[in-house]
Amino acid sequence: MKRIPSNRPFFPNRSEFDKLVDGIWERKWITNQGDLVTELEKKMGDFLEVPHISFVSSGTTGLQLALKCLPEKGEVITTPFSYPATTNAIIQEGFTPIFADILPGKLTVDPAVIKSLIGPKTAAIMPVHVYGNNCDTDAIDEISGEFNIPAIYDAAHSFGARKGGKSIFGKGDFSVLSTHATKMFHTANGGFVVCKTAQDRQRIDRLKNFGHNGPNTFELPGINGKNSELHAAMGLCNMMHANAILEKRKNQWAYYRDALQKQTGIELLQLSDEAGYNGAYFPVIFKSADLCRKAIDEGVKRQIELRKYFSPSLNQLQYLDYQVCPVAESTASRTCCLPLYHEMERAEQDRVIALIASL
């Protein structure tokens, strides 16, 4: 029986990649804002419909760079239902994470809870478009405007996501995309920081390059958050297939949804904008943690990898003081993502559907 992994990176044609790599060898330029990085930033900006965008070494670094742009340290209101990268970026930059519980079903942060947690120490809001499901950006941007607190969206999963017919990357002060190999669109490792203004983009560009603003002048205490020509080459190859990747993913997603709705009573993600959803992940929410464990064990027997993504709920991370978030804790204990990747075939999806239906 062929093993079904939870995820598998998209591989462009080797010849497409080789052609771009030949150019790197000819130019003898491998990092520090080479031609391919500049071209990828332009193409990604066009794809995401945003003018100010910077290619960085990872999504996590992107979150950290955006946080470095804040004028003061303090508390960052965020969601407990995410990958630890979100919370860890906040901690690494010297801020305190404050967790606002999530909306059941949609799994994105509850704007009413965000509002209730705003205080004199609030430095920013960092919501996550969970599994590519847009959070309530209208409510969050309104809160951000009312209290004059920047919103940094963790848009790690949001490649191609739209809201009301427009790219979700137009929202907030910053949005950070991950292009790690496990993401629907990837650059092997990497990420993009989308900025609201040209000044912020310039700041991110300097911060990701040690703070240089000239060959021997340093304006800011920056880091090495740049990405390379080799990663940009992978991104440019994948960009040639971006629309096909998105379209196929949406079809695979709809296939799972239709079959699971017909054959099982399992709870599925409530999409905030169905037409604009990118199909990034397919989470299923079991009735209990026991049932979720049983599904994972049964998957092991059938060579199907179900991934508990995200668990634990981040308010329960052992290195943090505990904050109460009952919805996220319960959801994290009984949610897992079904295998989903570009090359996945219908027959493989059918095996996964049969597994869930058998429980």
Ligand X SMILES: Cc1ncc(COP(=O)(O)O)c(C=O)c1O
Q: Is 332 in the site for ligand X (CB under 6 A)?
A: no
Query: How far apart are the C-alpha atoms of 65 and 35, rounded to whole Å?
Result: 22
Q: Count Cβ atoms within 10 A of the Cβ of residue 257 and give its class: 0-12 exposed, 13-18 middle, 19 or more buried.
A: middle
Min dist. Cβ of residue 176 to ligand X (A): 7
Task: Among 45, 59, 127, 276, indicate the residue that binds ligand X (CB under 6 A).
Answer: 59
Q: Is 93 in the site for ligand X (CB under 6 A)?
A: no
Task: Among 6, 54, 64, 82, indicate the residue that binds ligand X (CB under 6 A).
Answer: 82
Q: Is 58 in the site for ligand X (CB under 6 A)?
A: yes
Query: How far apart are the C-alpha atoms of 16 and 238, rounded to whole Å?
Result: 9
Q: Is 106 in the site for ligand X (CB under 6 A)?
A: no
> In the stretch 191-210, what mask flags binding to ligand X with x, by CB under 6 A?
x-------------------
Helix H or strand E encompassing 181: none
Q: Is 180 in the site for ligand X (CB under 6 A)?
A: yes
SS (H, E, C) the chain: CCCECCCCCCCCCHHHHHHHHHHHHHHCCCCCCCHHHHHHHHHHHHHHCCCCEEEECCHHHHHHHHHHCCCCCCEEEECCCCCHHHHHHHHHCCCEEEECCECCCCCCECHHHHHHHCCCCEEEEECECHHHCCCCHHHHHHHHHHHCCCEEEECCCCCCCEECCEEHHHCCCEEEEECCCCCCCCCCCCEEEEECCHHHHHHHHHHCECCEEECCEECCCCCECCCCHHHHHHHHHHHCCHHHHHHHHHHHHHHHHHHHHHHCCCEECCCCCHHHCCCCCEEEECCCHHHHHHHHHHHHHCCECCECCCCCCHHHCCCCCCCCCHHHHHHHHCEEEECCCCCCCHHHHHHHHHHHHCC
Q: Which of residues 145-174 bind ligand X (CB under 6 A)?
A: 154, 156-157
Query: What DSSP designation does 25 have?
Result: H
Q: Count residues near ligand X (CB under 6 A).
A: 14
Q: What residue is closest to ligand X based on CB?
A: 59
Q: Is 86 in the site for ligand X (CB under 6 A)?
A: yes
Q: Is 132 in the site for ligand X (CB under 6 A)?
A: no
Min dist. Cβ of residue 279 to ligand X (A): 16
- CA-nearest of 255, 307, 310, 306 to 279 is 255
Min dist. Cβ of residue 159 to ligand X (A): 12
CB nearer to ligand X: pick between 89 and 355: 89
CB nearer to ligand X: pick between 97 and 355: 97
Task: Among 10, 83, 159, 174, indicate the residue that binds ligand X (CB under 6 A).
Answer: 83
Q: Is 281 in the site for ligand X (CB under 6 A)?
A: no
> Using CB under 6 A, which of the segments 12-20, 83-91, 115-123, 198-206 binds ligand X?
83-91
Q: Is 178 in the site for ligand X (CB under 6 A)?
A: yes
Min dist. Cβ of residue 28 to ligand X (A): 28
Min dist. Cβ of residue 58 to ligand X (A): 3
Place of tokens 């790219």: 167
> Using CB under 6 A, which of the segments 56-64, 144-152, 273-281, 348-356 binds ligand X?
56-64
Min dist. Cβ of residue 170 to ligand X (A): 19
CB nearer to ligand X: pick between 33 and 78: 78
CB nearer to ligand X: pick between 129 and 203: 129
Min dist. Cβ of residue 193 to ligand X (A): 12
Q: Is 85 in the site for ligand X (CB under 6 A)?
A: yes
Residues that bind ligand X (CB under 6 A): 58-60, 82-83, 85-86, 128, 154, 156-157, 178, 180, 191
